[in-house]
Chain A
């Protein structure tokens, strides 16, 4: 099958029907209802998007506005859109849709008014969509002006369209940053990197109101598909790096640590230094780094003691240097980090190693890196592997959290029994009903957790907000701190009350805190809150997926009894909580005043 993330428009068009048939037949696709409201014709974008989303595990269903009617559909006559019930709306607009541009002789105050009026136009659209649908909105910003009437002055003068579009983009960015349910698609950056002269397609615009070239439309669709995947937690999280000729020039085992190319002395060394800096920047923004190299461990580690090495040993959350095959090592890294290999990007200059990983572990992204270090960064960037929807403090702390997990792992060996180890972690948990500062993180965690997840139900932020306010629901989030660091918000439970029974619609936990008894602390608290709400029995259900085998026995392990025959592999469990005695022994529960069950 062709790789849609890098294939050309030609390959795409020639293989479209075959690909569609292949991908539509895949199992376990997640339905996603997307409304595309366009200032220009949208069908080509939707065609590209459909295939790209199918390849990311979604089953997209589209609504398209009539050409140029995005404002009417969103603000004036929203009924058809409301009936469609979108999960996401994309507002596909260009500079041609802006009708409050400054006149060529505008002064500064008129310029500012035009920027404000343009911003107000879009905030009105978002507000209306939010009121009517409450779903996520994706808004693109604007490409640079294809015409610069004043030449270079166009970017300076108050009547210049170039300056106007830049200011509108700035204003949009500030506004989007303040709105949790609006995401920005950076058409400005995308078109600049692609080349504006290959972006607009005037012939097709005058003929069919298709504004962009097929190539540009494909770029836009790829970017949007990556953003959507990120929103639903399908971005990659781990960068696994080879060493020789990937992170430094030369073969350390042959050349010796003093002779590898890194630093500022030669052009090659400079390029490897730049690449190490790029990897370090990824780590700082929350991407987990790991090493997978065919070397002896001492030789491999020596490379990071080179005085010019930007990356240090402690930057890596997992370090495999040995003579085993790379696929074997990658699986071990995944186990050590407790992350799925489908979140991995594998970077290696050796084409044979890439081919082997590609063949044996197709879930791992393996960019065609080539062997020229000058192009490594560009190739990784083009893959859009690490697209982020929002960044949180948890993201910035993630790499550190995994590094401290490795330290926890090391500490574990020193104790006589597991309980003693758990006590040594000095864990403190805050377990409370959903409340506003955490709803975004709760929705984020819910949509990306696949392993410790009993039902794998997905909820939007809007749905979580509704649950939090509904008395029929008992909701819980859990945060966990320990002596090595703050793990952040790591567990979520949603229970739905029906008489004296509570259906556990959702129970999930981040893999960062597996085997820490956090699930027991969560159950204790759930029982406490459920009793306050008049519940006598908990009803649990395990729905198996390809990834959640680890919790197949969670309910029986926690003392639940079978309640009904299994159906399609799902199992059903119940727990009478009238006589329940608390089981958590190793985690101290932090009391936050005023946090009663859904009050």
Chain B
């Protein structure tokens, strides 16, 4: 199966964010972070991580997520994990 492109990943993530944070108006960019995305709190974060893991059938290692600064870096991590 072909690797999803970064744009596709961004669209997938946007769908997950909208569902988990219960806000259909969220628009994600690679620069989106907890600071500039309404509702992205710690509980929302936990659910987003879970949904991402389930969607791509990957597991983030302990510590892999703690230094992520924004959605762009999350996309890079997903690419790394799914191509492995």
Contact = CB atoms under 8 A, between A and B. Distances in A.
Contacts of A208: 42, 46
Interface in A1-49: 10, 13-14, 17, 43-44
Nearest to B45: A208
Contacts of B29: none
B62 interface: yes
A13 B51 contact: yes
Interface string B12-28: 00000001001000000
Interface in A200-249: 203-204, 206-208, 210, 214
A210 B62 contact: no
Given A10-B54, A208-B46, A214-B50, A17 B62 contact: no
A203 B51 contact: no
A17 B22 contact: yes
B43 interface: yes
Contacts of B22: 17
Contacts of B43: 43
B46 A210 contact: yes
B12 to A, nearest CB: 13
Interface string B44-69: 00100011001000011110010000
B42 A17 contact: no
B56 to A, nearest CB: 13
Contacts of A206: 62
Contacts of B50: 13, 214
Contacts of B59: 203
Given A203-B62, A206-B62, A208-B42, A17 B19 contact: yes
B80 to A, nearest CB: 18
A305 B50 CA distance: 56
Interface in B1-19: 19
A230 B22 CA distance: 32
Nearest to B54: A10
Nearest to A213: B50
Which of the listed residues A14, A203, A206, A214 has the most CB atoms from chain B within 10 Å of its own CB? A203
Contacts of A203: 59-62
Interface string A168-187: 00000000000000000000
A264 to B, nearest CB: 46
Contacts of B19: 14, 17
Which of the listed residues B59, B60, B62 has the most CB atoms from chain A within 10 Å of its own CB? B62
A207 B62 contact: yes
Nearest to B62: A203
B70 to A, nearest CB: 19
B49 to A, nearest CB: 8
B18 to A, nearest CB: 10
A43 B42 CA distance: 11
Contacts of B46: 44, 204, 207-208, 210
Contacts of B65: 207
A203 B62 CA distance: 6
A43 B46 CA distance: 10
Contacts of A17: 19, 22
A29 B65 CA distance: 41
Contacts of A214: 50
A17 B24 CA distance: 12
B16 to A, nearest CB: 10
A556 to B, nearest CB: 51
Interface string B21-39: 0100000000000000000
Contacts of B42: 208
Contacts of B51: 13
A10 B50 CA distance: 10
Nearest to B51: A13
A38 to B, nearest CB: 14
A340 B84 CA distance: 57
Contacts of A43: 43
B64 to A, nearest CB: 10
Contacts of A210: 46
Interface of A: 10, 13-14, 17, 43-44, 203-204, 206-208, 210, 214
Q: Which 4 A-B residue pairs are closest in the complex by CB-CB distance?
A: A203-B62, A208-B46, A43-B43, A206-B62
Given A207-B62, A207-B65, 20 more contacts: A10-B54, A13-B50, A13-B51, A13-B54, A14-B19, A17-B19, A17-B22, A43-B43, A44-B46, A203-B59, A203-B60, A203-B61, A203-B62, A204-B46, A206-B62, A207-B46, A208-B42, A208-B46, A210-B46, A214-B50
18 contacts: A13-B50, A13-B54, A14-B19, A17-B19, A17-B22, A43-B43, A44-B46, A203-B60, A203-B62, A204-B46, A206-B62, A207-B46, A207-B62, A207-B65, A208-B42, A208-B46, A210-B46, A214-B50
